[in-house]
Amino acid sequence: MAKKGYRVIVVGRGAVGQEMLRVLRQRRFPAREIKVLATSAGEISVDGQAYAVAAARIEEFEQFDLALFAGTEGEKGAAVTLSPGAIEHGVIVIDNGNDFRMDPEVPLVIPEVNPEDLEQHQGLIANPNCSTIQMLVALKPLHDRARIKRVVVASYQSCSGAGSRAVAQLERETEASVRGESAPLEAFPHPIAGNVIPHIGRFSDSGYASEEEKFVHESRKILHEPDLAVTATAVRVPTRIGHGEAVNVEFEQPLSPEEARQILSRAPGVVVCDNPAENEYPMPLDVEGKDEVYVGRIRSDPTVPHGLNLWIVGDNLRKGAALNAVQIAETMIEKGLL
Amino acid sequence: MAKKGYRVIVVGRGAVGQEMLRVLRQRRFPAREIKVLATSAGEISVDGQAYAVAAARIEEFEQFDLALFAGTEGEKGAAVTLSPGAIEHGVIVIDNGNDFRMDPEVPLVIPEVNPEDLEQHQGLIANPNCSTIQMLVALKPLHDRARIKRVVVASYQSCSGAGSRAVAQLERETEASVRGESAPLEAFPHPIAGNVIPHIGRFSDSGYASEEEKFVHESRKILHEPDLAVTATAVRVPTRIGHGEAVNVEFEQPLSPEEARQILSRAPGVVVCDNPAENEYPMPLDVEGKDEVYVGRIRSDPTVPHGLNLWIVGDNLRKGAALNAVQIAETMIEKGLL
C-alpha cells in the first residue's frame, strides 16, 4: 500500500536533475516534499515551478524516503560519497550514474524489462545507461519470443547525453558557424557541430569506449544472459536530445518483420513508427520529450538465418535517464518496496 | 602510351561536377581542353578558374575523348540520354550516376579494388556509390587476407551526398535555428539540422532504402563475390561533407586488429588514423578535402570467431565521386585503354 506522500530528494541540478523534477511533476508522483541537492545552495525553476536547492550533505537525507541521483558524465557521481549514508538513514537510492551499475548486489532495472530484480534491492537501485535502456525496451519482447543470438549496434547519440556543457558546445559552435567562425571546445575533444565523433566515454586497452562496453555488460546483466553476444560502436552526432540506434539482431528462432511489428506494437513503453513509404520512421527531433521508445525501419536481414534490422530512437534525458528512474520508484511503490 | 592531351567533357555543374573540375586540375590530368555541359549554357568558376558551360546536346561530344558524368541524386542522370550517342562518337564515358552500375556489361570500378575490370569496358564505366567506394577501399585488402564472411554497416552520411539543395537545406535550417526559427524543407522530407534521418534514396517493398541496397549489390559486383553477405542501415546526419561508417566484419580466417592495421597502413588510398588514447580517429571535419579513405577504431569483435569493428570516413564528393571517376580515367590511360 502506498504511503500518502513521499519525501523525495533529487541530487543534481543539471539536465537530468531538471528532467527528474519535470517528470515527477508531470506524472503526479506521490511526493509531499521535493528537495534538490547540488554542490552549492540556491534555487532553481523548472517549467515555472521553483525548487529550493540545498548544498549536498549527508544530513539532508534525514527523514526522506527516496533519493534520485542524476549522476554525472565521466567522473564519479555524488552517489559514491552520499548514497551509503543516505541508505543508512533509510532512504531508497535510485542512481542514474555509472558507479554501481555492474555491482552484483545492485539491481540494474528497466521497469518494462526486469522489474522483478527490484525485489533483491539493498537500498540502492541503478538506472542503466541511456543507450542500453532504449535498446532493451525494444529488444526484450523480441528476445522473449525468438531469443537473441547476437546484436550489432551503432549509435547516433545526442549531445545532451554528455551533459549541459556538451549542449552548450554544440550551440556555440552552431552560432559561430553561421558567422563563419569557430568556438572554443568545452566538452568534447573536437568540434561537434557539422561533425560526428566516434568516441563516447573512455577508451580501454581493447579499443572499445566505455559507452560501447556498457551496451555489452548492462544488456547481459539486465536480461540475465551472461554470455549474450553484443558488439557496439557509439558515435556522437550534432543533435541536442534523442539517441538513434541502428540495431542488427540475429535470433535463435524465426521472427518475421510483421511478427516483430505486432509484438512491439503491444509491448509496454514502445511505439512502432514504421511506414517508410510515407516517410515515417523515428527521428530525434520527433522523439524529444516523448516517454516511449520509438522503433521503425523493421526489416528482414537475409544474411543470417533469423535476422532483423531495426532503427530505435528514444529521448535520452527521459526514458534514457529521468523517466526510467521515476518509473523504478513507481514500480517499487506498486510492489510495496517503497 | 598516353596521348599528349585529352579533350574532356564534364557533364553537370553541381557539387560533384565542380569537384570533378577541381580534381582534374589538382591532379594535372593531361587535358588539353575541358568543357562543361549543363542544362543551360553559361560559365562557372571553380577555385578562380573559369569554365565555359554549354547546353548539353549530343553534338557537343564530337571530337572529345572522355566524358565524366556527375550524375544526379534520385532521378535518372543525363548519362541515360547522352551516353549512347557520346559512345558512338568514340567518347569514353565515366558515369557517377546510378543508372548503369548494375548493368552486367558495364564495369563498376574502384581503381584500388578492381582495376582489371576496366579491360572489359564497352565505352561506359560506372563509378560506384560514395558509401560503397569508401567501405571497399578499406575492406578489400582485408578481404584478400582473411576473406569476408559477413558485413553489417551503419552509415553517417553527409548532406552533400544528396546534392547542393540538401546542403542548402542544412545551412538555412542551421541559420534559422540560431534565431529560434525554422526553414522550409528543400531536399529532405524532414528537417536535418539537429536531426538524423534514417532514409537515403527510395524504399523498396523489402523495407530497405536504395542506398542500403547499393551497399549490398555494388559490393558483390565490385568484389566478384555474388553471394557476399552485406546488410546496411543508411542514415543522413547534419554534416556537410564526409560520410562515416560503423562497419562490423566477420572474416573466414583469423585477422587481429594489429594485422589489420598493418595491412591497411600499406593499402593504396587508405590512411590509418587509430590512436583513440590521444583522441585520434577519423571524423568528417578532418577528412573533408582529403583524397584517402580514413580508417580507425579498429578493434576485435569477440562475438564471432574472426570479427573486427572498424570506423571508416571518406570525403564523399572526392573519393566517393569526383576523385574516383578521375582515377578511373587515369588508370585507363595507364592501361592504354584511353
ipTM: 0.96
Least confident of A75-79, A135-139, A277-281, B254-258: A75-79
Torsional sign, CA B72, B78, B84, B90: negative
Closest Cα of chain A to B184: distance in Å? 16
CA dist B251 and B205 (Å) reads 30
Minimum CA–CA partner of B287 in chain A: A195
Whether B244 has its CB under 8 Å from any CB of chain A: the answer is: yes
CB-based contact A230 B303, cutoff 8 Å: yes
| Model pLDDT, residue A289 | 96
CB-based contact B199 A304, cutoff 8 Å: no
Beta bridge partners of A155: A234, A245
| Model pLDDT, residue A246 | 99
Largest CA distance in chain A: 60
| Domains in chain B: boundaries | 6-127+321-334, 132-316
Beta bridge partners of A247: A153, A310
| Model pLDDT, residue A4 | 72
Query: Do B230 and B215 meet the contact criterion of CB atoms below 8 Å apart?
Result: yes
Minimum CA–CA partner of A304 in chain B: B229
Angle at which helices A323-334 and A15-26 cross, to 10°: 40
Q: Is residue A208 packed enough to be buried (19+ CB in 10 Å), middle (13-18) or exposed (0-12)? A: buried
| Model pLDDT, residue A3 | 61
Contacts for A180 with CB less than 8 Å, ≥ 6 apart: none
CA dist A230 and A150 (Å) reads 6
Nearest to residue A46, comparing CAs of A70, A68, A26?
Answer: A26
**Fold of the CATH domain B6-127+321-334:** Rossmann fold (3.40.50)
pLDDT in tens, chain B (338 residues): 456 799 999 999 988 999 999 999 999 999 999 999 999 999 999 999 999 999 999 999 999 999 999 987 555 678 999 999 999 999 999 999 999 999 999 999 999 999 999 999 999 999 999 999 999 999 999 999 999 999 999 999 999 999 989 999 999 999 999 999 999 999 999 999 999 999 999 999 999 999 999 999 999 999 999 999 999 999 999 999 999 999 999 999 999 999 999 999 999 999 999 999 999 999 999 999 999 999 999 999 999 999 999 999 999 999 999 999 999 999 999 999 99
Secondary structure E strands in chain B: 6-11, 31-38, 42-46, 49-55, 66-69, 92-95, 124-126, 148-157, 229-236, 243-251, 270-272, 293-301, 307-314
| Model pLDDT, residue B1 | 46
At A2, the pLDDT band (50, 70, 90 cuts) reads low
**Nearest CB neighbour to A206, from listed B189, B296, B299:** B299
Substitution target in A190, A237, A304 with the highest count of B β-carbons within 10 Å is: A237
Closest Cα of chain A to B71: distance in Å? 24
Rg (alpha carbons) of chain A, rounded to whole number = 20
Instruction: Classify residue A209 by its DSSP letter.
Output: B
Whether B225 has its CB under 8 Å from any CB of chain A: the answer is: no
Nearest to residue A318, comparing CAs of A97, A84, A23, A12?
Answer: A23
For residue B123 the three cell numbers come to 565505352
For residue A296 the three cell numbers come to 521503425
What would the DSSP string read from start to end of A143-179?
HHHH-EEEEEEEEEE-GGGG-HHHHHHHHHHHHHHHT
**What separation in angstroms does the CA of A276 have from each of A134, A279, B191, B198, B208?**
21, 5, 16, 9, 9
CA dist A301 and B230 (Å) reads 9
Closest Cα of chain B to A114: distance in Å? 24
**Nearest CB neighbour to A246, from listed B154, B191, B296:** B154
CB-based contact A285 B194, cutoff 8 Å: yes
For residue B156 the three cell numbers come to 553517417
Substitution target in A175, A247, A297 with the highest count of B β-carbons within 10 Å is: A297
Whether A86 has its CB under 8 Å from any CB of chain B: the answer is: no
| Model pLDDT, residue A72 | 73
| Model pLDDT, residue A141 | 98
**Nearest CB neighbour to B309, from listed A231, A257, A281:** A231
* Averaged pLDDT for residues A94-113: 97
For residue A71 the three cell numbers come to 549522476
* Averaged pLDDT for residues A317-334: 97
CA dist B35 and B235 (Å) reads 35
| Model pLDDT, residue B210 | 97
The alpha carbon of B250 is separated from its chain's Cα centroid by a whole number of angstroms, namely 24
CA dist A275 and A277 (Å) reads 6
Minimum CA–CA partner of B285 in chain A: A195
Of A121, A217, A243, A306, the active-site residue reads: A243
Residue type, A325: A
* Averaged pLDDT for residues A298-324: 98
Tens digit of pLDDT for each residue in A65-82? 999 999 875 556 789 999
Tens digit of pLDDT for each residue in A39-64? 999 999 999 999 999 999 999 999 99
CA dist A268 and A236 (Å) reads 28
**What separation in angstroms does the CA of A100 have from each of A81, A134, B9, B122, B253?**
12, 20, 64, 65, 39
Torsional sign, CA B245, B251, B257, B262: negative
Q: Lay out the sheet containing A148-157: strands in order across.
A: A229-236, A148-157, A243-251, A307-314, A293-301, A270-272
- Three-state DSSP at B34 gives strand
**Fold of the CATH domain A132-316:** Dihydrodipicolinate Reductase; domain 2 (3.30.360)
- Quote the pTM value: 0.97
Would you state the CATH architecture of domain A6-128+321-334?
A: 3-Layer(aba) Sandwich (3.40)
H or E element that contains B25: helix B15-26
In this predicted structure, the answer to whether residue A262 has a pLDDT above a threshold of 90 is yes
**Nearest CB neighbour to A207, from listed B248, B298, B304:** B298
| Model pLDDT, residue B188 | 97
Contacts for B136 with CB less than 8 Å, ≥ 6 apart: B110, B113, B128, B219, B222, B223
